């Protein structure tokens, strides 16, 4: 075990400082109700700055939201230009960096091991009208495989069930595999729920890897140095040292409790059902801890934490067979999962369709791909539609692939788990001269000058 000084750059507060300097942090002093009102404010500002609620009814804790709701804020949190986001995320997946254990970590400034009452302690908000109750939505669940001891991180919605119990929803994720294996060995699975993390740690938690590849090491790769972690007090686990709140506990074999409904990322409700339970044995926190809340349903913060690592994963894999792939956007309207817009440097006919095929084979959830030329910004929905309007001949450029395997999250799926997937090749047809597609606008150097001197036009 190494000891070291705490790295101030790796926590949520470091990101908040950068947001503030960039005009991307709104402080709300008016008291807000954690029941719906707080989430309503975050909906109203869904593409806006991070929002820090100074006064939350019934709680001494401050609450922050809209931390990861824009790509721009992720770039700010790591001092990256926007164009470097995708390469950095790919690097994060490819070049994991081992964690560093530190002592005297901020996340353990306050320790509660008796009379735990999570409902009182945490200002867990309610989000959608028909949600079963308040939910913890930003907790990273860290666990270790019962046999290999290898670590895993993932975010799961957690319903507040009782003073020290929370419901856990698990798709067939790595966590659920580890829980299942622990059950076969008749052991509880120890879990640390870590709330209030730097955007790099949040995105790393949703990165793709094999069972056994450690998302905390991917966070280290995003920072370019080891992520500092603290040894938990009551379980054999590590938590990000600068995390705001850590719930130490376990999930017991075979234990299930009714959970849900909850407004989910498709923008509709996940149904009520019997799901696993987390028992909290200890809470450790920073003094003056800040509670992070991610709005459920298809709010951009929920979508982007999932979509950005997914983009990097698909981009990295697609690039192998399609090197002229330039950029990718898993769109907000597509729930961050179902639709992708990609740009390519087209050199021959049929490449747009090849890109569609390549992407659709890489990810079960993806069901529609739009391909544009590299002069179109994949993150500008108006320009993407413009490309569709001016470069697509539907009978040639819209392609359908009936009965492909999909994922349960798609409620339109056929009974056999398939759905028709499709693509739009909105790249320039090469049989017309390039001038036909030339974008008419002012000369580039004049535009650059106006951009540079923009302030002068405002005074």
Instruction: Select the residue interacting with ligand FMN from 206, 297, 343, 370 (CB under 6 A).
Output: 206
Residue numbers 179-198 binding ligand FMN by CB under 6 A: none
Near ligand FMN by CB under 6 A: residue from 88, 157, 275, 391 = 157
371 binds, among Mn ion, ligand FMN, none (CB under 5 to 8 A by kind): none
In angstroms, the CA 153 to CA 15 distance is 21
Q: What is the dihedral of CA 143, 147, 150, 152, to 10 degrees?
A: -30
Task: Decide if residue 174 touches Mn ion (CB under 5 A).
Answer: yes
Question: Nearer Cβ to ligand FMN, position 77 or 108?
Answer: 77
Instruction: Select the residue whose beta carbon is closest to Mn ion and give its number.
Output: 174
Q: Of the two residues 11 and 301, which places its CB atom closer to ligand FMN in the complex? A: 301
219 interacts with ligand FMN by CB under 6 A: no
Kindly state whether residue 169 participates in binding ligand FMN, applying the rule CB under 6 A.
yes
Cis peptide before 261 (omega within 30 of 0): yes
x/- site string to Mn ion, residues 108 to 147, per CB under 5 A?
A: ----------------------------------------
Nearest residue (CB) to ligand FMN, 294 versus 426: 294
Least CB distance to ligand FMN at residue 66 (A): 13
Binding Mn ion (rule: CB under 5 A), the pick from 69, 70, 108, 152 is 152
The burial class, CB within 10 Å (0-12 / 13-18 / 19+), for 339 is middle
| Ordered DSSP codes for 140-199 | EEEEE-TTT--EEEEE--EEEEETTEEEE---S-HHHHHHHHHHHTT-PEEEEEEES--H
Q: Could you say whether residue 299 binds Mn ion (CB under 5 A)?
A: no
Q: How far is the CB of 288 from ligand FMN (least distance, A)?
A: 24
d(CA 14, CA 409): 35
Q: List, in order, residues 6 or more apart from 338 with CB less than 8 Å away.
A: 365, 366, 367, 368, 410
- Structure letter (DSSP) for residue 88: H
Is residue 156 close enough to count as binding Mn ion by CB under 5 A? Answer: no
Residues 296/262, Cβ–Cβ less than 8 Å: yes
- Rounded CA separation 163/357 (Å): 50
Contact footprint for ligand FMN (CB under 6 A): 137, 152, 154-157, 169-171, 173-175, 206, 294, 302, 305-306
């Amino acid at each position: 075990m190494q000891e070291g000084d705490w790295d101030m750059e790796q926590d949520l507060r470091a990101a908040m400082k950068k947001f503030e300097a960039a005009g991307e942090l709104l402080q709300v002093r008016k008291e807000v109700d954690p029941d719906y009102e707080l989430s309503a404010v975050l909906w109203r500002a869904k593409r806006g700055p991070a929002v820090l609620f100074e006064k939350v009814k019934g709680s001494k804790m401050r609450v922050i939201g809209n931390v990861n709701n824009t790509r721009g804020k992720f770039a700010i949190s790591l001092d990256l230009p926007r164009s470097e986001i995708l390469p950095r995320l790919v690097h994060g997946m490819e070049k994991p960096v081992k964690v560093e254990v530190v002592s005297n970590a901020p996340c353990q400034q306050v320790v509660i091991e008796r009379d735990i009452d999570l409902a009182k302690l945490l200002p867990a908000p309610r989000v959608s009208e028909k949600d079963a109750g308040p939910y913890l939505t930003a907790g990273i669940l860290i666990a270790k495989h019962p046999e290999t001891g290898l670590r895993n991180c993932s975010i799961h919605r957690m319903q507040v069930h009782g003073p020290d119990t929370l419901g856990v929803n698990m798709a067939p994720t790595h966590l659920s595999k580890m829980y299942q294996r622990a059950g076969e060995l008749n052991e509880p699975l120890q879990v640390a729920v870590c709330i209030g993390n730097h955007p790099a740690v949040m995105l790393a938690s949703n990165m793709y890897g094999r069972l056994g590849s450690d998302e905390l090491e991917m966070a280290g790769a995003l920072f370019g140095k080891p992520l500092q972690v603290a040894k938990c007090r009551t379980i054999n686990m590590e938590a990000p040292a600068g995390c705001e709140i850590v719930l130490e506990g376990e999930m017991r074999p075979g234990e299930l409790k009714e959970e849900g409904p909850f407004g989910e990322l498709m923008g509709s409700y996940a149904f009520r059902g019997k799901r696993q339970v987390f028992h909290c044995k200890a809470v450790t926190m920073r003094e003056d801890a800040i509670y992070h809340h991610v709005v459920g349903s298809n709010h951009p913060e929920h979508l982007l934490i999932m979509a950005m690592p997914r983009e990097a994963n698909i981009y990295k894999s697609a690039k192998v067979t399609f090197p002229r792939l330039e950029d990718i956007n898993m769109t907000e309207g597509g729930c961050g999962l179902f639709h992708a817009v990609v740009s390519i440097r087209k050199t021959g006919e049929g490449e747009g369709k090849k890109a569609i095929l390549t992407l659709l084979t890489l990810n079960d959830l993806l069901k529609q791909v739009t391909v544009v030329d590299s002069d179109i910004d994949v993150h500008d929905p108006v320009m993407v539609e413009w490309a569709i309007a001016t470069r697509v001949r539907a009978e040639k450029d819209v392609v359908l692939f009936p009965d492909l395997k999909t994922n349960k999250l798609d409620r339109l799926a056929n009974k056999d788990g398939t759905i028709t997937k499709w693509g739009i090749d909105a790249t320039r047809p090469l049989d017309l001269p390039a001038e036909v597609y030339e974008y008419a606008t002012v000369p580039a150097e004049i535009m650059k000058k106006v951009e540079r001197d923009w302030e002068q036009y405002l005074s």
